[in-house]
Amino acid sequence: MEVSLLGRTALITGGSSGTGLAMAREFVRSGASVAIVARGQENLDKAKAELLKLAAGHVKSAKVVAFSCDVGVAAQRAATYAKVREALGPIDILCNNAGESRSGGTFENIPEENWRLDLETKTVAHMHFARLCWDDMKARKRGVILNTGAISAKAGRPAAMPTSVARAGVMALTKGLAFDGGPHNIRANALLIGSLETGQTVRHYPNEAERKAALAKTGEHIPLGRVGTPEEFANLATFLASDKASYITGCAINVDGGSCPVV
Ligand SMILES: NC(=O)c1ccc[n+]([C@@H]2O[C@H](COP(=O)([O-])OP(=O)(O)OC[C@H]3O[C@@H](n4cnc5c(N)ncnc54)[C@H](OP(=O)(O)O)[C@@H]3O)[C@@H](O)[C@H]2O)c1
């Protein structure tokens, strides 16, 4: 099966690393123009240079743009979306993917700020970017919204309450967008991660030997016996973004090697 995104435009939040960058690479290989958004300028510049090189070797007409933005700040979301819209035109594929893990703890020990940050970054931002892209998608009768989440949305786990609640909200949002978007050929799906080796992992375990040991230990609790890769995530995302997935909407698909206790 050949998956093409030729001529499509994509906005990927958290596109400078991990799953976001893996999606950007695969989208560019498939012919799309992409806008990547994240806070850190250095990683954005690096990712943009790599993606431009990739585009030059594949589809020369594909554009790559990068903008710095904290998706947890409403004014930055709106201003960044305006720049992306100006650079690429209407967005066909929105990937709400930015986020980071925060220290957990028991309910009484979780700082209130963690609740606010997780809800704003991992739920409200998804809603807001979808709203910003919505009118164009509706007018053009085509749109795909891919919401990155976590399997804790389906099965909450200890010490991860704010992120689980935020991710559960994204699942409900995804379903709502699928209902409201369906009549306008706007599809919305969520991709729920278990454990993937990304920038997040490198930040938690900067030492390579320690990282490998920790990943191997995590893998022991995963039915497929290992932590996944951002590329495995991006393969599903690229399929869902394409017309090959034209009848798939309103789903929350686990990308977790079988870890989630819930289907
Ligand atoms: N890896 C896992 O096992 C795992 C598990 C469950 C959920 N997730 C989720 O998967 C998504 C992708 O993360 P990843 O694993 O690929 O980690 P990653 O390699 O650290 O990538 C995260 C990306 O999001 C950006 N980002 C973080 N906070 C942001 C903010 N407030 N505004 C704008 N950009 C922001 C980061 O860039 P800057 O830091 O420069 O802004 C980076 O580009 C996240 O939502 C994460 O929570 C991952």
> Is residue 102 pLDDT above 90, yes or no?
no
Residue type for 176, please?
G
Q: Which atom of ligand 1 is nearest to the CA of 38?
A: 34
The answer to whether 74 and 62 are in contact (CB under 8 A) is: no
Q: Which amino acid residue places its CA nearest to atom 25 of ligand 1? A: 14
Mean pLDDT in the chain?
Answer: 96
Q: 108 CA distance to ligand 1 centroid (A)?
A: 26
Superfamily of domain 9-255: NAD(P)-binding Rossmann-like Domain (3.40.50.720)
Residues touching ligand 1 (Cβ under 6 Å) are 13-14, 16-20, 38-40, 43, 69-72, 97-101, 121, 148, 150, 193, 195-196, 198-200, 230
Instruction: Give the global pTM.
Output: 0.98
Q: What is the pLDDT of residue 103?
A: 75
For residue range 216-259, list pLDDT tens digits in order: 999 999 999 999 999 999 999 999 999 999 999 999 999 999 99
Name the pLDDT band for 105 (thresholds 50, 70, 90): confident
Q: Which amino acid residue places its CA nearest to atom 36 of ligand 1? A: 14
Pairing, β 93-96 against β 186-193: unpaired
% of residues, the chain, pLDDT over 70:
100
**In the chain, where are the structural domains located?**
9-255
Name the pLDDT band for 58 (thresholds 50, 70, 90): confident
Picking from 88-97, 104-113, 171-180, 250-259, which range would have the lowest pLDDT averaged per residue? 104-113
For residue range 108-158, list pLDDT tens digits in order: 999 999 999 999 999 999 999 999 999 999 999 999 999 999 999 999 888
